[in-house]
Amino acid sequence: MTSARSNRRHAQINRRALIQGSAATAGSFALIGRDAVAARQEATPVMSQSVGDFDLMEVTIADLRTGLDNGDFTIRELVQASLDQIAALDAEGPTLTAVIETNPAALDIADALDAELAEGNSRGPMHGIPILLKDNIATADGMENTAGSLALGGALPIRDAFVSELLIEAGAVIVGKANLSEWANIRSPRSTSGWSGRGGQVRNPHQTDRTPSGSSAGSAVAVAAGYVPVALGTETDGSIVSPANANGVVGIKPTVGLTSRMGVIPISHHQDTVGPLARTVADAAAVLTVIAVADPADPAVSSQENGNGATPVASPAASPVASGSQPSYPARPEGLGAIDYTAADILDADGLRGARIGVWRETTGYHPHTDEVFEEALAALAEAGAELVDPVVMPSFEEISTSPDELFVLLWELNPGIAAYIEEYVDPEFPIRTLADVVAFNEAHPEEELLWFGQEFLIQSVEMSDLDDPEYAATVARTQRWGRETGIDAVLAEYGIDAIVSPTGQPAYKIDLITGDNWKGASSSASAIAGYPIVSVPAGSRFGLPMNLSFIGGAFSEPTLIRLAYAFEQATNARLAPALLEPMVIPPIT
């Protein structure tokens, strides 16, 4: 007997090329400045898959949910289109190198989820939605988890990360692992964002010789280029919001402890957090709704009550927290349970009206194009009904900007954190057990791992004292005070504001493996050391390169930040679709 689902209209999955004639391409070189960029964009082929009537570079989770529920296409067809998009743009074409590994079981998983839908069983909004995870988030499905390092090549996790479990339970299809800055950019002060020994160099889809930023480089590029509607990244300081800025997508860096870090290759148990990248605020909010579940094994929630009222107890093997370190995490509001971040009172197009927003001008001045886009964003905020408090001043800004203490905390926590992750999630027969083993591996394989830059930070972390050192505890307390009491909390209280806005970062600079990143400035460090959230949303562009606006708030203020960011997104529609441009050729002066 033929099922109703097999009689549905077969999805028309095809490759579409938007191509202008070669004469237009040649003519662009007679122009200069922004006119030249505009002409090049119009003349550049943009290859994209489609599923049903939807272009994968533009489709939203809501679009896909409607198409799947209406029978316009199957989950298998959707996942195949995602894999085809990866094949067309990652290893071929512009070679974006955003994906480090695809899931060989993805189509089988899709078939099983299709069967569930055929029986009338839906797991919810994420049922059948393709997603990529950064290659530092464990999955027990035969894919490796390496932080981009060849030293962990072959390290198959023995169980899923907590966030992976949640996504699988929600019906998401993990189609692969995203490339990243190796070791999440904690290897060398001269590193190049988006490069890893295992995956190579990720490229920016807006202009392929430009940085994707990092460390969640592949996650951001994959979303911008239509591989998947959403991806997971991780952030210690800037690693979600900075690539969101460089690639023109939305990034949510959650409060530390809102999402679990268990099963994530760590840098810092005080600062690490897992969050979504997406093309829209609504899609990022949908994923956050799934993964924002209190994990009893995570030290950031182990002394707090979860949404069901139980008192979780941290697993010592899963946590690198030493007995004498007494970590301090953001205070979880009493009774905080599950939140639907896609609720109508959060995704409110009029959500800026009446909001008091502080303008953090201390984070401007490092790039003129960034400042121009920021001023345009401020005008849009005011036009949408926000009351701007301009400027606001952070008492600890100088300390945050100049002190090396944050880096010292990260290096103190990295070494024991890596050992704890390997002990808990990697087969005990795997030869690499410690960060010292990683350092030795790299020294034994210099052509593969050390050709472009060194491993100074890894070596320094190995040589740091343990977490029972009183100086470590004092340094943590000092940096957290700068981020909280004399930082974000002080600004919110003094000015009576709902949130702070700042530029997320500069336009993407050129990739330079010889001398490293040409980084100018950002605004993520106060939130990083505080453990507080940021929502970064597209705000504008210059010369075809996007830039974002950051909404910054206090602990567990995600509903407010998402509401403000969503209203800003709806008011501006500032996201720039990638043009997959080749390197810009500057015309000669004639």
Note the pLDDT of residue 52.
86
Residue 11: its pLDDT value, please? 31
Pairwise CA distance, residues 516 & 316, whole Å: 38
Determine contact, residues 535/250, Cβ cutoff 8 Å: yes
Q: Determine whether 177 is an active site residue.
A: no
Whole-number Å distance between alpha carbons of 147 and 500: 32
Q: Is 239 an annotated catalytic residue? A: yes
Q: What is the pLDDT of residue 327?
A: 60
pLDDT at residue 48 in the model: 79
Residue with tokens 């998009």: 85
The residue behind tokens 């994923």 is 287
SS3 560: helix
For residue 368, cis peptide bond before it (omega within 30 degrees of 0): no
Which pLDDT does position 580 carry in this prediction? Answer: 85
Pick the catalytic residue from 50, 82, 191, 215: 215
Residue among 309, 303, 300, 308 at smallest CA distance from 330: 300
List the domains of the chain with CATH numbers. 78-572 (3.90.1300.10)
Catalytically annotated residue among 193, 196, 239, 527: 239
Token output for 484: 């909280």
Amino acid 49: pLDDT: 84
Q: Are 111 and 74 in contact (CB under 8 A)?
A: no
| pLDDT number for residue 547 | 99
Q: Which of 28, 50, 82, 134 is catalytic?
A: 134
Query: What gap in Å lies between CA 157 and CA 172, rounded to an integer?
Result: 19
Taken in order 405, 145, 57, 585, is the CA torsion positive or negative? positive
**Whole-structure pTM value:** 0.91
10-residue block means of pLDDT along the chain (590 residues)?
34 28 30 44 58 93 97 97 97 96 99 98 98 99 98 98 99 99 98 99 97 99 98 99 99 98 98 99 99 94 46 39 61 88 99 99 98 99 99 98 98 98 97 99 99 98 95 97 98 99 98 96 97 99 98 99 99 95 67
Distance CA 252, CA 234 (A): 10
At 14, list the tokens.
Answer: 């095809």
Q: Can you state the percent helix, strand and coil of the chain, rounding each to 5? A: 35, 15, 50
From CA 51, how far away is CA 81, in angstroms rounded? Answer: 7
